[in-house]
Amino acid sequence: MTDEIHEIEEYLEPEPEQSFPWRLLIFGLLAIVLLIFILQNFEDVTLDFLGWEFTMPEAFVILLTAVISSILTWMGIAISRRRKKQRNASSRSA
């Protein structure tokens, strides 16, 4: 438990002052690219899934797929880290 608290504290500690806000610049550029992508892919597409039929903009379908895959990837990483911690904890106590 204390290891988890220590990891959270390290994550929340402010980073040393940087001369240029790189994160803000990268976030802004990604937002602009995303906006251009959405505006260029606004054609409607029809999806058939398990007998249901959906019609929505192509950009929305692609972005929804990316979000769902990101969530599933994050969940997989979290599960593997938890299992690794449990294995390490059980090997220390044995």
pLDDT tens per residue, range 50-79: 999 989 998 888 888 888 998 999 999 999
pLDDT of 74: 92
Whether 54 is in a domain gets the answer yes
Question: Domain of 67?
Answer: 44-94
Task: Report the candidate in 78, 80, 76, 38 with the shortest Cα–Cα distance to residue 59.
Answer: 38
Whether 18 is in a domain gets the answer no
Specify the range with the lowest mean pLDDT, choosing from 47-51, 82-86, 88-92. Answer: 88-92
Instruction: Point out which residues pair with 57 in neighbouring strands.
Output: 44
- Number of domain units in the chain: 1
Whether 27 is in a domain gets the answer no
Whether 65 is in a domain gets the answer yes
Residue showing tokens 């090997």? 91
Whole-number Å distance between alpha carbons of 74 and 67: 11
Whether 76 is in a domain gets the answer yes
Q: What is the pTM of this model?
A: 0.54
pLDDT more than 70, % of the chain: 79
Pairing of strands 44-49, 52-57: antiparallel
Residue 34: which pLDDT band, with cuts at 50, 70 and 90? confident
Whether 60 is in a domain gets the answer yes
